[in-house]
């Protein structure tokens, strides 16, 4: 889940992480969109700009708390599984939400009969040039709800558990990299969404690996698109530099 510190590299070349490769909106673009939306609201509704700016700041603080709650619950799970990681510095609100999500995770974890194979292992796909860090890889013993075999798991946190298509493509990417590195014959993937509120319970989605082809194809398409967008931006910058040089020459 967390990106490897310093990034992922293949033969000295930096490659994107799974989340970066499938992201349509970089953080800078998100902030730009938020600011423009706030300005439009202020102009159309005739509101005071300072008031709208205060509302935008509050929205960003809430968004950060939601992200930090996920960071905190990941840390609590890692500690429970025996990893020695530094406690993240988050707000009291994010910490409380993370602790609530962890309580839901503990209840779910008690239902799993498994052998832990890897915790937060940094993976590299040399074939497809990307990196990723799945939360957990386990070998599940025979149960009524989960066929035995090797599974890759990822934790998500949210006020209301919800499965997103990006969750599936992310797990597809992890599965591809796991097979490449370890040669596993995966049985499936698991996504556990943890509520950050007391109500409800963890939502586990288990998908057989044999059904994950659309998710894998989607991720690899996004990986190709990510590289194409970088090349397109290089082309744009080259054209702009050329125009600038011509303008200077014309003077």
pLDDT tens digit string along 101-110?
999 999 999 9
Each residue's pLDDT, cut to its tens digit, for the chain (251 residues) gives: 555 667 899 999 999 999 999 876 555 555 656 666 667 766 777 777 777 677 777 767 777 888 899 999 999 999 999 998 899 999 999 999 999 999 999 999 998 889 999 999 999 999 999 999 999 999 998 777 778 999 999 999 988 878 889 999 999 999 999 999 999 999 999 999 999 999 989 999 999 999 999 999 999 999 999 999 889 989 998 998 888 777 776 55
Q: For the purposes of burial, counting CB atoms within 10 Å of the CB of 175, is it exposed (0-12), middle (13-18) or buried (19 or more)?
A: buried
Model pTM above 0.85? no
Domain ranges of the chain: 13-250
β-bridge mates for residue 130, sequence order: 125
Residues in the chain: 251
Distance CA 18, CA 172 (A): 10
Tokens representing 174 are 């992890």
DSSP 208-238: EGGG-HHHHHHHHHHHHHHHHHHHHHHHHHH
Residue whose entry in the numeric block shows the structure tokens 């839901």:
104
CB 74, CB 86: distance < 8 Å: no
Distance CA 121, CA 136 (A): 8
pLDDT tens digit string along 46-66?
777 777 677 777 767 777 888
CA nearest to 136, candidates 120, 113, 156, 160: 120
Any residues with CB less than 8 A from the CB of 198 and at least 6 apart, and which? Answer: 100
Res 76: pLDDT: 96
């Amino acid at each position: 889940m967390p990106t490897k510190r310093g990034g992922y590299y293949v033969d000295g070349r930096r490659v994107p992480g799974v989340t970066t490769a499938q992201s349509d909106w970089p953080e800078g673009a998100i902030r730009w969109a938020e600011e423009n939306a706030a300005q439009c609201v202020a102009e159309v509704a005739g509101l005071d700009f300072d008031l709208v700016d205060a509302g935008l700041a509050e929205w960003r603080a809430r968004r950060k708390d939601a992200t930090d709650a996920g960071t905190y619950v990941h840390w609590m799970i890692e500690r429970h599984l025996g990893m020695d990681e530094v406690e993240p510095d988050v707000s009291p609100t994010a910490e409380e939400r993370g602790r609530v999500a962890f309580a839901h995770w503990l209840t779910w974890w008690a239902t799993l009969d498994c052998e832990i194979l890897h915790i937060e292992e940094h993976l590299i796909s040399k074939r497809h040039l990307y990196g990723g860090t799945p939360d957990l890889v386990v070998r599940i013993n025979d149960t009524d709800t989960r066929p035995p075999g090797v599974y890759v798991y990822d934790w998500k946190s949210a006020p209301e558990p919800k499965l997103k298509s990006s969750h599936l493509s992310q797990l597809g990417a992890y599965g591809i990299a796991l097979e490449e590195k370890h040669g596993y014959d995966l049985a499936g993937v698991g996504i556990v969404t943890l509520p950050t509120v007391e109500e409800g319970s963890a939502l586990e989605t288990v998908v057989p690996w044999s059904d994950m082809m659309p998710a894998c194809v989607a991720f690899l398409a996004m990986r190709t698109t990510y590289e194409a967008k970088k090349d397109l931006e290089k082309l744009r910058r080259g054209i702009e530099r050329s125009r600038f040089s011509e303008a200077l020459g014309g003077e």
